[in-house]
Amino acid sequence: MSNEQALNAAVLRSDRFRLEREADWIRLEAIVTRMEKGQARLLSDEDVLALPTLYRTLLSSLSIARENSLDAGLIDYLEGLALRSYFMVYGTQSSFRRWLGSFFGGGWSRAVRAIQFDIWVALLVMIAGAVIGYILVAGDSDWFYALVPADFMDVRVPGASEEALRGTLFGAQEEGGLAVFAAFLFSNNAQVALLAFALGFAFAIPSILLLIHNMALLGAMLWVFAQRGLTVDFVGWLSIHGTTELFAILLAGAAGIHVGRSIAFPGAQSHLKAASDAGKRAALVMAGVIFMLICAGLLEGFARQMIDNTIARFGVGGGMLLLWLIYFFGFGREGRRPDA
């Protein structure tokens, strides 16, 4: 048989193969396309029941096509359709509403509990950062200007009078200065939360340094108010949104540390597998962190403007802290799925 005859025979064999099975492929592709477009509910019962059978038939066709070295275009088509069909047959199908219900119904809290060790590490680092900032400024007030950005300063500087500092905490909501200070805090803390997570891949070291620096700033500011006997009032002022915002930073830092620690110490797993598993847990935690930052922004934008006494501020801030603690450590335990 000449080369031309062999080529014609191969083309004829490929065409016959296609004609005998093409109807099933077209039907399967139509079903998969509709499912990919989120229109699965529009499929008939016959199509839904036929999906697994059509998928297995497709795999059989692909196997035959490869074995008989049919044309490459046909094999590519069958491989692509097989891949798309696989996700429809075996992939998890979930709507956004269902995912959201699962997330707030325990998925988020379980993910947070799964990184408890890293949360404790991040908490200790944040406390250490605040103490370091306080001690440094207490020893030499020039450290205040090194730790606190220039645009963060107005009357809240070492040596400010009690009256001036008290004026920034009470009855100044309409004056703008406090709003600027609050807006800076939120913007700064949101950036810190995102960076603390994003930099965690570098063995968690940048995340830890970032947490220390950010809390040193807070420690320095705390010293300024403490020198005028306004510690409780300052903490109360901060607590309205701070318990939520600082908790969000804590979780973001812990998520970053979790990823970095998993890369540095993967245990019995490969580095890639350990990083992948840690990344999934951390990503779930961070999705919740975004929600917490939005809550903190709302508290800062509304509650801070409406509440002007320290006890009520502690009430709001303490209530939010209690709410988060109950959710994270007392909710959704029935699933016992640390990887959720």
Residue 186: the pLDDT is: 66
| Residue, of 107 and 180, whose pLDDT is higher | 107
pLDDT tens sequence across 74-121:
788 888 888 888 777 766 566 677 778 888 888 899 999 999 999 999
Q: Does the structure show a pLDDT above 50 at 339?
A: no
pLDDT digits (tens, 9 = 90+) for 112-146: 999 999 999 999 999 999 999 999 999 999 999 88
pLDDT at 72 over 60: yes
Between the CA of residue 6 and those of 2, 68, 256, what are the distances in Å?
Answer: 6, 13, 61
pLDDT band at 340 (very low <50, low <70, confident <90, very high): very low
Backbone angles phi, psi at 258, to 5 degrees: -60, -45
Greater model confidence, 273 or 337: 273
Helices 177-198/231-264 angle, 10° precision? 20
Rounded to the nearest 5 degrees, what angle is found at the Cα of 72, between the Cα atoms of 70 and 74? Answer: 75
Instruction: Say which residues have a Cβ less than 8 Å from residue 148's Cβ, sequence separation at least 6.
Output: 217, 220, 221
The answer on pLDDT for 11 being more than 90 is no
pLDDT digits (tens, 9 = 90+) for 275-323: 888 888 898 899 899 889 888 878 877 777 778 889 999 999 999 999 9
Amino acid 169: pLDDT? 84
Give pLDDT tens digits for 21-58. Answer: 888 888 888 888 888 777 777 778 788 878 888 888 88
Q: Is the pLDDT of residue 159 over 60?
A: yes
Tell me: the pLDDT tens digits for 239-251? 988 899 899 999 9
Structure tokens of 119?
């949360």
| Per-residue pLDDT band at 18 (split at 50, 70, 90) | confident
Residue with tokens 């008290």: 166
- Can you tell me the mean pLDDT for 5-9? 64
Task: Classify 229 in phi/psi space as left (phi over 0), alpha (psi -120 to 50) or beta.
Answer: left
pTM above 0.85, yes or no: no
Give every CB contact of residue 245 below 8 A, 6+ residues apart in sequence.
185, 186, 189, 292, 293, 296, 300
Q: How far is CA 141 from CA 99, 154, 163, 225, in A?
A: 51, 16, 20, 13
Return the structure tokens found at 79.
């491989």
Burial (0-12, 13-18, 19+ Cβ within 10 Å), 151: exposed
pLDDT for the residue 4: 64
pLDDT in tens, 198-229: 887 788 888 999 899 989 999 999 999 999 99
pLDDT at position 22: 84
147 Cβ neighbours under 8 A, 6+ residues apart: 133, 136, 137, 213, 216, 217, 220
Average pLDDT over residues 161-172: 83
Confidence of residue 181 (pLDDT cuts 50, 70, 90): low
- The more confident residue out of 134 and 268 is 134
pLDDT over threshold 50, residue 187:
yes
